[in-house]
Amino acid sequence: MNKLIKPIFSILFILAISYNSFGQMRFREPVQRNITTNKVNKPNPGKRVELVKEGFISKQLKLTSEESKTFWPIYHQYVQELTGVRILKRLNNSKTSPDGTEQIDKELAYETEMVNIRKHYRDEFLKILPPEKVSELYKSEREFNDEVLKQLSERSVKAGD
């Protein structure tokens, strides 16, 4: 699982960037202008991926309106905390960071922190949702990430043809 985190986020990043690539131009959403400031409001590709993910999770979990009200703010905090640790982990593994024991120790510390975040939010989710829905949440996240990887690999194969 831990080996998949870096490729998944790399793929999500590529997906977000590739939306504005030349091949995708005809599918671009219409540009909206803010009349008061005359600035162009372009949709954020990373935000779009998150919205698709939220829609997928909502569909899978079949949340009630009451569950939804309390679940989504906590879920957003969960994702934000995990993303913060993943960024630190990625920086630790960059080519500019020195190799050696310190880097290994930091890597293990980041992995431990991610597990602690998951445990903490598992308990928070269980306060809101029944255990079956919490289990379905984790399965849905995995399924979504697997589907993103599958689509990106299919796109790269098509691009290579």
The answer, yes or no, to whether residue 21 has pLDDT greater than 50, is no
The answer, yes or no, to whether residue 24 has pLDDT greater than 80, is no
Question: Which alpha helices (DSSP H) does the chain contain, by range?
Answer: 2-18, 45-61, 65-92, 101-128, 131-160
Cα end-to-end distance, the chain, whole Å: 31
The answer, yes or no, to whether residue 29 has pLDDT greater than 60, is no
At 20 the pLDDT is 47
At 100 the pLDDT is 82
The answer, yes or no, to whether residue 142 has pLDDT greater than 70, is yes
Stated pTM of the model:
0.67
Q: CA 142, 144, 147, 152: dihedral to nearest 10 degrees?
A: -110
Instruction: List, as one string, the DSSP characters of 122-151.
Output: HHHHHHHS-HHHHHHHHHHHHHHHHHHHHH
Q: Please say whether the beta carbons of 53 and 12 come within 8 A.
A: no
Q: Which one has a higher pLDDT value, 36 or 98?
A: 98
The answer, yes or no, to whether residue 25 has pLDDT greater than 60, is no
Chain Cα centroid distance, residue 21: 21
